[in-house]
Every structure is written in C-alpha cells, then in structure tokens.
Structure 1
C-alpha cells in the first residue's frame, strides 16, 4: 500500500508495531522534538521501523535517514520529502 503523506500517527503506530514502547515513554504526549534514543529507540529498533516504513509506503529510505533525523518531527518531514519526490518523478 502506498500513501501520499506520512504523519506522526503513522510513525507512532509503526514504532509500536515494530519495537514496542518503553513504559516510561508516552507516545501520545508531545514527542515531536524528543530524540528517539531518549524514547528508548536505539539503532536496531529504528532499522526495523525504517523497513516497515519502506514496505508500507513503497519508498526507499537513505541509510542515514535516522542518523540525520533524530526526532519524530524531522523524520516525518524527511519521509514526506521522499514521498513527494516519488510523486514528482
């Protein structure tokens, strides 16, 4: 399934499906500018998250998408930029 916009709700759902959540983190709270590592998502969990995003949204993410985008806000923006690039191609 390919969608044209990736939202924070998509990210939260995929994070929970793929890696679960640390009990101390409230994904329903204001997490937009919280570093993934602070939320308990380390490299392996983020790799799984990236794979799920690629499959669900039919895109290919750069290897450094998670190192360059350490917060949900910047990651959502980067994924939407990738989706727009596909549409514009």
Structure 2
C-alpha cells in the first residue's frame, strides 16, 4: 500500500476550511517558510488544523508537533514523517 503524502494543497484547504484566511494573506503565494502567526493563524487555529489533519489522515500528532512546526513547510514535513512512521 503506497504511503499517502500530505501536501501544501492539503494544508491550505484544511487551514481555510477550519479557520478561514486573513484578508491580507495570499496562501497561494510563497508562504512555505512564513511563520503561522505572520499568516494570521494563532495557536487555537493550529490546534483545529491539527485535529482536522489527524481525522482526515488517520494519524496522531503530538502537541509538540503543532508548537514546534511554526511554518507550513515544517508542519508538512512533520505530518509526512508521522504518516511514514504509521506505515513502518
């Protein structure tokens, strides 16, 4: 069974569905290395995002994953690492 990959498109969709998007932020721009707080997503929004990722991708993320992954690139890498660990 191939490992499903969590992509930036998945993250954007989940962020917008769960918390919306700040009017001043273009999630289609080059934001992979922009901190979530600079994108307008505070800790509660990230907790909701984490919950949605867990349900949709059938993984469990520790609380530290969401606090340590402070950019979209870091969160995508962390989610993909957890998905690989679940399969292994």
TM-score range, shorter chain: over 0.9
Is structure 2 residue 23 aligned with structure 1 residue 7?
Answer: no
- Give TM-score scaled by structure 2 length: 0.95
TM-score (norm 1): 0.94
Match of 1:31 in 2: 31
Give how far 1:7 is off.
Answer: 0.3
Measure how far apart 1:85 and its partner are: 0.3
> Offset of 1:67 from its aligned partner?
1.3
Indicate the RMSD between aligned Cα atoms, in angstroms.
0.9
Aligned residue for 2:56? 56
Runs of 4+ in 1 over 2 A off after TM superposition: none
Query: How many corresponding residue pairs?
Result: 86
List runs of 5+ in structure 2 lacking aligned partners: none
Please give the per-residue CA displacement for 1:25-71, whole angstroms capped at 9, x wherever unaligned. 00000110000000000011001000000000000001111211100
Structure 1 unaligned runs (5+)?
Answer: none
> How far is 1:75 from its partner?
0.6
Partner of 1:21: 21
